[in-house]
Amino acid sequence: MQNVINELNAWLVKVPEGFSRFTEIEISERPLPHKWSKKEILGHLCDSAINNLERFIRIQYEDQPLVLVPYNQDQWVDLQGYRDIPIEEVMNLWVGLNKKIINVISKISQDQLTLQCDIGNNQLRTLEWLIQDYLDHMEHHLNNQIFK
């Protein structure tokens, strides 16, 4: 888990620096009518952090395997109104949530990393897999959509 923590800490520096180089138009403009802007993608990453933080905590004390409840990503982004919120507010939320995630995963024991969750259709994964998937998902959006 130390590699994940190191990567998350690195992103906590890189993302605010990277966004500081964009204009308001660059972060707010949608590439296509039904595609998210850079700011909305960052908002989506906040929603991912909210949902995964809860999962990382619940899997440690609820009955195994924890059945993960999916969430409607488009509705979350739309209903949270990230497009109309100042970037500083979205950035502060993203940074704060990821600091909290780092805090939580830094306290997870090696044994707890083997705890199981059902990601859907009876597909069982470990907590370790779930945490790595969170980072991979974040890096996909950051590398391929925001900072491409």
**What's the rounded mean pLDDT across residues 98-117?**
98
pLDDT at 31: 95
Print the domain residue range for 65.
2-146
- On average, the pLDDT of the chain sits at 97
123-129: long-range contacts (C-beta < 8 A, 24 or more apart)?
A: 124/65, 127/56, 127/59, 127/60, 128/1
pTM, two decimal places:
0.97
CB atoms within 10 A of CB 90: 22
The encoded tokens of residue 116 equal: 């199981």
What is the number of structural domains in the chain?
Answer: 1
pLDDT at 52: 98
Residue 17 belongs to domain with CATH number:
1.20.120.450
102: confidence class by pLDDT, cuts 50, 70, 90: very high
pLDDT at 112: 98
pLDDT at 145: 97
| Tens-digit pLDDT profile for residues 45-93 | 999 999 999 999 999 999 999 999 999 999 999 999 999 999 999 999 9
pLDDT at 141: 98
pLDDT at 144: 97
% helix, strand, coil for the chain, step of 5: 65, 5, 30
| Tens-digit pLDDT profile for residues 21-51 | 999 999 999 999 999 999 999 999 999 999 9
pLDDT at 120: 94
Q: How far apart are CA 14 and CA 7, in angstroms?
A: 10
3: confidence class by pLDDT, cuts 50, 70, 90: very high
**What's the rounded mean pLDDT across residues 93-116?**
98
